[in-house]
Chains A and B, each alone.
Chain A
Amino acid sequence: AQTVTQSQPEMSVQEAETVTLSCTYDTSESDYYLFWYKQPPSRQMILVIRQEAYKQQNATENRFSVNFQKAAKSFSLKISDSQLGDAAMYFCAYSGGTSYGKLTFGQGTILTVHP
């Protein structure tokens, strides 16, 4: 079975600074997808960024980028120029290539942004 581990229960960052959230996963599949979701107090999960395992290039979405290390099964999220609105719970998630939409989530990291 696939597992996703987020070892940082809480992280904090100063506004305009950079923060990195860690995620590791375990799988025997070669085809899969990795995601970072943001969950604010409103409870709605919002997709931040996704990475297809077969792509070697790290995904980037504006201020958000990932460091995907396939051999190490590591998938960290870097948030640059942090904003107050980035404060939320962040979840790393895995989906196998044959398990379309069936996500395995990590335990989450609470991100606090200080003004």
Chain B
Amino acid sequence: GAGVSQTPSNKVTEKGKYVELRCDPISGHTALYWYRQSLGQGPEFLIYFQGTGAADDSGLPNDRFFAVRPEGSVSTLKIQRTERGDSAVYLCASSLPRGTGANVLTFGAGSRLTVL
């Protein structure tokens, strides 16, 4: 697509529920990133995919968070047993392969998750 697409735009869930957030990157962008942005803060890195594999998942806060990218395109961020502290905007970004894109990320508009 022309840009990075994220769905849903907004998600409200109850504490303890499971949620999935989807990211559709720019066509041809093999690198994909997830960031989390809490209210009034800058985004924080969660995970980076190069192709289908997670090249760096050091930012995932705990084992309730998991992300997949089975075909090297669309990615899904999965959060189990949601907690109120998970409420944030989850941003996805994509970029060209390393060495070709001057390290430039294109971001989506994010998915705002609210856990009641």
Contacts and interface: CB of A to CB of B under 8 A. Distances in A.
Contacts of A106: 42
A100 B98 contact: yes
A98 B44 CA distance: 18
Interface in B31-70: 31, 33, 35, 40-45, 48, 56
Interface string A57-85: 00000000000000000000000000000
A44 B33 CA distance: 14
B98 A107 contact: no
Contacts of A43: 89, 91, 109-110, 112
A44 B41 contact: no
B82 to A, nearest CB: 20
A50 B45 contact: no
Contacts of A101: 31, 33, 48, 93, 95, 98, 103, 105
B2 interface: no
Given A45-B91, A101-B93, A102-B56, A50 B103 contact: yes
Contacts of B43: 45, 91, 103, 105
A42 interface: yes
Contacts of A33: 102-103
Interface of B: 31, 33, 35, 40-45, 48, 56, 89, 91, 93, 95, 98, 102-110, 112
Given A47-B105, A101-B31, A103-B105, 12 more contacts: A33-B103, A43-B109, A44-B108, A44-B109, A50-B104, A100-B103, A101-B33, A103-B43, A104-B45, A106-B42, A107-B40, A107-B41
